[in-house]
Amino acid sequence: MDIKIENLTKKYGYQKAVDNISFNVKTGEIVGFLGPNGAGKTTTMKIITNYLNCEEGEITIGGKSIKTNAEEIKKHIGYLPESNPLYNDMPVIDYLEFCAALQGIEDKFIPGRVREMVKVCGLNSEKHKKIGELSKGYRQRVGLAQAMIHDPEILILDEPTTGLDPNQIVEIRRLIRELGKEKTVILSTHILSEVEATCDRILIINNGAIVADGTAESLRKKAKGNEVLSVRIEDGDADTIYKTLKAISTIDSVDFTDRSKNRFEIQSSVGSSSKREIFNVCVKNGWVLTEMTPSETKLEDIFRELTLN
């Protein structure tokens, strides 16, 4: 099911939480929401799940407007809210059965679904405990289990991996990627490496507006147009190498990172690559090129650049 959001605006009083946001999410796509606190990620998710209304704008899911088909559409959405609220007085199994029944699963299929979710989310050892007795990580797993219990076509996950141990994080990310092949997934997170590891597409939201939209790759390209290489050249005099490198036409700047070890950081001018030229220069002068690494712009830097202003 595709999600189509057009000109969505949501105000809390005079404050605009979401300001004229538009984007599409296609089936089989995992979209990651990134943004500082209070950027409007959670509000957008709450509107998609029909917990909040959108005053302005239109959301269509699978070709149907959520304003007129709320009950129908809610069946196809699995939602994990930010704070992961759960009924503490209910045993895990009972809670999952309750959620399955509410989502309209036929009675005869409920035990099977619950069993599967217990297996998928690794809840087997805790399934008879009351939710209130569980640790944070297990609560998070129960939250994920209830979101996926009815095999929804759309998954909205607000910070799905908080409170999980590293093994479980890897496991859940793998699960989300698996699900994302045939379902539509929107997740929000603060962990930038998580977005890179799981999402096909990244939306960076700041002050209620989308400031970047694309794959991690394309965001990098956009953030920094020029190539940066860290290079180590041996068997030559550092200053001579420095001057020779500087003379190459495509190179913008050369800096020493470690003079004694002949390490340099080389920035090419916008839109050009100087890897070949550096290699050729080394060959010509009989130097040995022992290291050449393109240094990638970190997602953290892009994030800071876009959201700090």
Partner 1 sequence: MKSILIITRRELNSFFDSLIAYIILALLLGFTGFLTWIRGFGNSDVFMLNQATLGQFIGVAYWTLFFIIPALTMRLIAEEKKTGTIELLLTKAISDRQVVIGKFLSTLLLICIALLLTLPYVITIASIGNLDLGEVICGYLGLILMSATYISIGLYASSITSNQIVAFLATLFIGLFFHIIFDLLKGAATGFIGDFFSMLSLSTHFESIARGVVDSKDIIYFLSIIILGLFLTEVSLSKRKISG
Q: For binding to partner 1 (CB under 8 A), which residues are involved?
A: 11-13, 46, 49-53, 55, 70-71, 74-75, 77, 79, 81, 83, 85-90, 94, 98-99, 101-104, 146
Cα radius of gyration rounded to whole Å, the chain? 25
Report, in Å, the least distance between residue 271 CB and partner 1. Answer: 47
Report, in Å, the least distance between residue 79 CB and partner 1. Answer: 5
Nearer CB in complex with partner 1: 99/229 = 99
Nearer CB in complex with partner 1: 75/174 = 75
- Quote the CA–CA distance of 210 and 40 in Å, as a whole number: 10
Please return the burial class of 219, using the count of CB atoms within 10 Å of its CB with bins 0-12, 13-18 and 19+.
buried
DSSP H or E segment with residue 267 = strand 263-268
Report, in Å, the least distance between residue 111 CB and partner 1. Answer: 16
Which residues lie closer than 8 Å to 297 by C-beta, 6 or more apart? 220, 223, 224, 228
Report, in Å, the least distance between residue 275 CB and partner 1. Answer: 51
Nearer CB in complex with partner 1: 152/180 = 152
Concatenate the DSSP letters of all residues of 204-243 into one string.
EEETTEEEEEE-HHHHHHHH--S-EEEEEEESS-HHHHHH
Nearer CB in complex with partner 1: 84/262 = 84
Work out whether strand 201-206 and strand 56-61 pair parallel, antiparallel, or are unpaired: unpaired
Nearer CB in complex with partner 1: 94/196 = 94
Nearer CB in complex with partner 1: 25/299 = 25
Quick one: tokens of 19? 């300001």
DSSP letter, residue 85? -
Q: What angle do CA 201, 205, 208 make, to 5 degrees?
A: 145
Report, in Å, the least distance between residue 258 CB and partner 1. Answer: 53
Contact 203, 176 (CB under 8 A): no
Report, in Å, the least distance between residue 297 CB and partner 1. Answer: 37
Report, in Å, the least distance between residue 172 CB and partner 1. Answer: 19
Nearer CB in complex with partner 1: 91/137 = 91
